[in-house]
Amino acid sequence: MPGRVPGGSEGGSRVPANERPFAVIMDGADGDDVRFAPLRQYLDDHGVDLRVAVDEQQRETLLPTAEVLIVLGRDHLRPDEVATLDRAVGIVCLSVGMDKVPLEAAERGLTVRNVPDYCIDEVSDHALALVLAGQRRLHEVLPAMREGGWLAGRGASDPHSLRRLRGQVMAVVGAGRIGRTVATKARAFGIATLAVDPYLTEDPGPDFPLVALEEALGRADIIVLCTVLTDENHGLIGDEALRLVKPGVMVVNVARGGLIDESALVAALEDGRVRLAALDVRDPEPPTTEDPLRALPGVLETPHMAASSIDAITDLYRKGADIVIDLLTEAGRLPGTVRSSG
């Protein structure tokens, strides 16, 4: 991605403080401003201020004055909040998906942009890590080892409960950037890969044939969800789909929790249709304290961390900031900003 000439103008002069536009980032977690220091610095270098709305009161105050709104992957923008964006020219989602922004934003004429390519390696690595951990039953072996156990040849390490990866079939639901990378990495282990994607009309690759979901469910030993969440695919892996799966299948979700009907998944785990479920995302997040999935032995969980690394965050903030600058420049709110050739 091209770099930019700092300073906010071709001559290198900074935008005067009283003329600087500003972006607002919604942070519904802990308001830790330190996390946004790199983003703040990069925007500041290009004549843009960043303000953080950490609670409902600050959202009410800042959103109507924001020229660009930045939405984190964990925060939902409500329709009533969209109605207050009187000065905004656009919304930037610091995430792969845009499901946190309601349709009312587009109806209001706001440009909505995302950062689809900042964590391809992280999410695909995490998906394969979950596959490996589950297939080798590390989620059962490691806790026992920490407690002083030694399950050599029995329990979770019983060879009759383990399978080699080579020769298994993986269905990747969502054959975009991340899905294709998951498939490429899986094939390095000798896993055959199938693509499921309603938006494609031809095979994504010679070793990645496109098949219907129903066919994939019946053939796959491992199902990996990599697709965006939409109204149409909410609860995609539910009662109907889980009646079609190959007995003993492993389900991996590194996309969005809403893709799985968790009640149906619990039933499928209990009756053996699903042997393993490896979930980086849940619906809701965090799960409730009475969460039935956590009581089941075939479940591996991670706390929505598949996209995380210092490298990914650096890319996310830099690319997100570039989008903010583009939106402001195109709207005439940040005159003179130019890209460098580097």
The string of pLDDT tens digits covering residues 284-297 is 999 998 999 999 99
214 belongs to the catalytic site: no
pLDDT surpasses 70 at 221: yes
Q: What DSSP string describes 64-117?
A: GG-SEEEEETT-PPPHHHHTT-SS--EEEEESS--TTS-THHHHTT-EEE--TT
Q: In 10 A of CB 81, how many CB atoms?
A: 20
35 domain residue, yes or no = yes
pLDDT surpasses 80 at 336: no
Share of the chain above pLDDT 90, in %: 76
- Same domain for 151 and 107: no
For the domain that residue 242 is a member of, what is the CATH number?
A: 3.40.50.720
140 domain residue, yes or no = yes
188 domain residue, yes or no = yes
**Residue 277: its H or E element:** strand 274-279
- Same domain for 209 and 278: yes
340 domain residue, yes or no = no
- Same domain for 199 and 278: yes
pLDDT tens digits, one per residue of 223-273: 999 999 999 999 999 999 999 999 999 999 999 999 999 999 999 999 999
Smallest CA-to-CA distance from 253 within 221, 276, 287 is with 276
d(CA 66, CA 89) in angstroms, rounded, equals 9
Smallest CA-to-CA distance from 271 within 305, 292, 242, 304 is with 242
The pLDDT value recorded for residue 301 is: 97
d(CA 25, CA 301) in angstroms, rounded, equals 29
- Same domain for 182 and 236: yes
- Same domain for 270 and 136: yes
Smallest CA-to-CA distance from 116 within 141, 93, 91, 147 is with 93
Q: Give me the catalytic one of 137, 273, 282, 304.
A: 304
Q: What is the domain range of residue 233?
A: 120-301
pLDDT surpasses 80 at 14: no
The pLDDT value recorded for residue 206 is: 87
d(CA 51, CA 193) in angstroms, rounded, equals 45
- Same domain for 232 and 114: no
- Same domain for 58 and 183: no
245 domain residue, yes or no = yes
144 domain residue, yes or no = yes
Smallest CA-to-CA distance from 124 within 252, 271, 218 is with 252
234 belongs to the catalytic site: no
The pLDDT value recorded for residue 204 is: 93
Q: Which residues contact 148 (CB under 8 A, 6 or more apart)?
A: none
Q: In 10 A of CB 69, how many CB atoms?
A: 29
Share of the chain above pLDDT 70, in %: 89
pLDDT tens digits, one per residue of 152-177: 766 666 777 889 999 999 999 999 99
pLDDT surpasses 60 at 338: no
Q: Which residues contact 108 (CB under 8 A, 6 or more apart)?
A: 82, 83, 85
pLDDT surpasses 50 at 2: no
Burial of 340 (0-12, 13-18, 19+ CB in 10 A): exposed
**Residue 317: its H or E element:** helix 310-330
216 domain residue, yes or no = yes
What is the pLDDT of the chain when averaged over all its residues?
Answer: 90
255 domain residue, yes or no = yes
- Predicted confidence band of residue 9 (pLDDT cuts 50, 70, 90): very low
Phi, psi dihedrals of residue 40, rounded to the nearest 5°: -60, -45
- Same domain for 80 and 62: yes
- Predicted confidence band of residue 10 (pLDDT cuts 50, 70, 90): very low
The pairing of beta strand 111-113 with beta strand 90-94: parallel
285 belongs to the catalytic site: yes
- Same domain for 134 and 260: yes
pLDDT tens digits, one per residue of 297-312: 999 999 999 999 999 9
Q: How many domains does the chain have?
A: 2
Q: Give me the catalytic one of 4, 256, 273, 275.
A: 256
- Same domain for 149 and 130: yes
Give me Rg for the CA atoms of the chain. Answer: 23
Q: Give me the catalytic one of 19, 285, 294, 330.
A: 285
- Same domain for 223 and 287: yes
- Same domain for 35 and 184: no
Mean pLDDT of 203-228: 97
- Predicted confidence band of residue 149 (pLDDT cuts 50, 70, 90): confident
pLDDT surpasses 60 at 337: no
Q: Which residues contact 56 (CB under 8 A, 6 or more apart)?
A: none
Phi, psi dihedrals of residue 182, rounded to the nearest 5°: -55, -45
